[in-house]
Structures are given as C-alpha cells and as structure tokens.
Structure 1
Amino acid sequence: MSWDNLLFEFPLDDDARHVADLKAGRACLDAIHVVSAELGLDPNDLMVQQRVTPRVPLPHHTDLALWLSRMDAVVSQPEGAPAVASGLVNRLKALCPLPYEKRRDWGDRPPSELEALNQEIRFAGLMVCAGMGTRFVQDLPNGRIRPASVSVLEFDWQVDVLTQGGQLEPENTFMTIGPERDPVTPEWLARFNKPRFTASDLLRYSDMVHETIGEDDDEKDRFMTKVFAGIKVFNRDPEKAHSAPVRMEALSRLIKNEPMEPWVRKSRSKPDEEDTLMISEAAFEATARCELVDVAGKPGFDRQAFYMLCVKHARKYS
C-alpha cells in the first residue's frame, strides 16, 4: 500500500497528520499507535528496534534465570546486533511470556531448558545482555494499549562483551567489570545532578535494596540487587535508576569520613555493629537535594552544604 493510498484510510485531519509524520520519518509514539490500530497491526511491528544502553551482561544461565525471575522481558534483534540462528531466538522468546508464577522461583531453581539453551548460545560465541527499552503494552482488563519501559534481552558477541568493545586485551576471558571508569568531570556531574529526587524516592529505593540484598551476597549479587531496585522504583525514569545508587554511595562515603550526628547515629538496638546506622529523614532530604561534587576523584557531597540542608529540613520533622 502506497502512502497516498494509506492517507485515504484516515479521513480525519488529525489521523492524516499522523500518517504524514510517519511518511516524513518524524513519527511519535502516538502516530504509531493510531496508524497500527487502523491497520490492525501490532504497534511494536512499526517501531525500528534500536540497541538499548546500558546493557547488563548475563553470561551464565543462572544470571538469565535470575533476571527473568524478577522482570518481564522481550527479545529484541536490533540493527547492528549479531546475526543469530532463529532457533535460539525463538526458544528464548518462548521463555519470556511464561506467567510470573512459573518464573518467580527461577532465581533459586533455574529450569533445565534454560541451561541447555544458554550452553548453545555460548557455544555459538554469543551472550545475552539485558537493558531497558520502550514497547507498547496492553493494560488488563480494559485492554488499553500504551507505551511503557520494558526489560529487553539482546544477543551480543562474547568477545565484544569480554573485551568491553575492544577496550581490553583479546586474551581477557573473565567478566572483570569494575567500578564505573568515567572521570568525575563537570559534564559527568551535570549529568548525575540533573535528575530530581525527593527523600521518599531514596527511602523507597534504600528500603528495596535492604529488603532484597542477602548477608552472604557477593559484589556481583549486590550489584544486581541495586540494578533491580532502581528499575523497580524508577521504572519510568532510567536516569533516576542510574543516579540513585550514586547518591546513596556518596552518602555512605560522607558518613564514613565525617561525623554527621545528630543526623546519622549508631543504632541503639545494635550498638556493636558498625554498619547499623540510623539515618534521619533530614539526612535523606539532604541526600536527595545536595549537589554532587568531585571529592578525591569520586562523586560525593560537600560536608558543609550537606549539613546545612540537614538543618534546613530538620524543621519538617521536629
């Protein structure tokens, strides 16, 4: 069907405008929704699949099982991604829509078919990576279709992941993903200071991290817990999901290096445990609002600025 013929299917001016936007390559999500509904198509079929960033490598079947036990996911094959055998793609796609009740225990008991699938994926020199993207979803029970942020699984070449896109030596055979290497430049600070938080935002994020993190979790498990917590609390705002742990880590470094009483005190119920602290609401208010600055090469808070924000917001709780 030509564009001119397609216009005849939309007699209303507003709808015709959406077709014109599609033809000109400047379509918005509303235009895709309107046109797909008229043609009886899935709106996701009209969207150009693009690579999601950042992506989290899931090299082992246990990593993939843990991700699917916490998140609904779709499989994407964007332009520029490796060519993957349709059998591998279809088998992974078949696992994603399973009901949550069947997937919720996969973190502890990964299914055998997922282990077998991941072995074939790795044998082909590939690796599954996860990220967040935009897709149309259907709300139940009213059936309303809307765009939403969803978990997206993509295939990458193992060598590209293990060498971080060629930045490491080709002989690197381990997943040695260290802390973020970006220098704390003015541009970096501006990017992480841009998202706006409230104390309740960071309280919800902190509570979710502490509820799901285990005492015996290693660094990798703790990282995954923070990733999931950020996605769940700020699922519509990936910038917040990325910035929240930076602010909480800045608070931890400030508490470690500076006396912050009365805003942060040791717990009276567990006075012998160094890591058990009572953080006041005013301190969370300050953490949400204080400007991130360069403190010895790491993002942190200026003690005086943070302390004054605590004083200012303490009045709300007194």
Structure 2
Amino acid sequence: MAGLNRSSSNPMRNLLPPQELLDDLCSRFVLNVPKEDLESFERILFLLEQAHWFYEDNAVEQNPSLKSLSFKEFTSLMFNSCAALRPYIAHIDDIYKDFTSYKFRVPVTGAIILDETYERCLLVKGWKAGASWSFPRGKKSKDEEDHTCAVREVLEETGFDVSNLLKMDDYIEVVIGQQRVRLYIITGVKEDTVFAPLTKKEISEISWHRLDELQPAGDDAISRGVNGLKLYMVAPFLTALKTWIASHPPPASQKSDASARGTCVWKAKNNSGGPMTTENPLVRVGSESYNADNAPGKSFRNFRFDTDSIIQSIKAAFSAN
C-alpha cells in the first residue's frame, strides 16, 4: 500500500476509490460467482483483474478525481476492503507473484490476418507508451477451445469477426518461455475493411504492415524489423508464416501493388491518460511484468487455500447487510 495517499497538492487523479465503490466491485466480481471460482487464488485474481479493468474503463473515466491504479495496487486495496479476501492479506505478495507466474503459462491464441495479396498482415499496438506490435491475440479462458479464443480475442482487439474465415488446420504455433502461442492464419481480408477495438485502453493503433518490412534485420536485432518497429511477439512467427505463404499462394487474380506500404487503419485519439510504462507483450495492459526472481516465496509454497473460510466470510458479509 506504499505510495497510495489520499492527499496531495494535485487533487486531480489522486483519490483512491471510496469504500462504497470497492464494496460494489467486490460484490459484482467476487462474491456473486460460482463456488468453483473461489477455489484457487488464480481464479480469484482473474476475477479481480476483471474488476480492475471495469474500474479503469468506467469509474476512472467518469470521475476525474479517481486515481488510476496498477493491478498490484488495485489487488492490495481489494484484499484490504473485501471481507472474503481480508484473511489472506498477510500472503498478498506471494499470492500476487504466484498469479503473475501462472499467467505466463496460460496458452494464448489469436490470428495472423493477411490481405488479399498475402503481402501485408494486420498488427495491433498496445496501449502504453513504448508498447510493441503484435498479431491480435489473448489468453484462453478456462475450458475454452483454441479457435474460440482466437475469434473472441481478434474481435475484441480489432472489431473484426474471423469466425467464417478461420480454418482449423491453418495455424502456426510456437512456445515462448513456458507459454504456448497459437495463431490461426486468416487470408483474403480486404484492405478497406473497417477495424476498431471493442475494448478500452488496450489497443492504441491498428495497421497493415508489409511482411518484407517485418523481417528481422539480423541476429543482433531479432526483435526489431528493418523499420525499427518492436516485433517481440511478431518475429517468432515470420519464418513459418513465409513458408506457409510459399506453399499456399494467393489467388492469381490478386495483383500486388509494389508501392503499397504500411497503412494505419485505426488509432486512438488519446492514450495519455496517466503515467505510461513499457508494456510486456505477454501481459494485458495494467498487469505487472514478470521476473524469475519474483517467484513465490517459501511462505506460500506450502500455503493451504481455505475455501470454507471464504464461504463463511461471504455469508457473514451478506448477513451484516
């Protein structure tokens, strides 16, 4: 909770959410969920992540005095204010570190969207300053099929529905760290297709990019293209993508415009509503980056999750109301 103060010389964007708002978020996203969602801290923190997005996308935008919080700050507030979570406040650091580590093992799926000539692909750029470009993609939900997740994430990040174009066998899959990333190859999308993200404060720009400009410049710049773009989540797929295109040429009727270059098709009007930090390409905006040195401590490795205690706390909270 260090650094979170309610008073400052600058009253704008400095107030923490009032207890009434925290109670509403707790009730909306934590208390009124199926019992199985309260059986692990991973599931609970995913619920808190949704509450955090709701707070940032709605409450902060509607109230200019509310402070924009990192997910770690928000989690600390919720553990302190929510009766069902308060018993575990002493373990919050290890719980948070364990969750961050866990997220890096959740499979990711999305799509590589190609234009009609197969010479350009659609990339999205994260919200925060310094963010890298990537193919539209996101983490799978519990029990979600790969292709279903891909359709959902592409729709959220670009506003484009690929469900009718997705072919189950056309995909490229790589493992980055401990995370499996599968991208389905979507072809023949018209250049004038309208794109715009459905989510707030996640995507700052959507653009068509020529594949030959995305080719990594060399071993010393494996994560940057020849035009200087950050390609941390693009470079690992380029070789396999070009091999796939070589064996699946575009329709002969499609002619290449050699002069066509990268084209921005959507850009946020203002994405500077607060301090900007470099986004980790594997974590949604607002989440903290992971460092191997931050792995869960010994105090948490043998920690037992007490579901009954949480259920009792929930019942007590309802009884008090």
Q: Same fold (TM over 0.5)?
A: no
Query: Which protein shows a greater Rg?
Result: 1
Which of the pair is proportionally richer in helix? 1
Instruction: Give the structure-1-normalised TM-score.
Output: 0.23
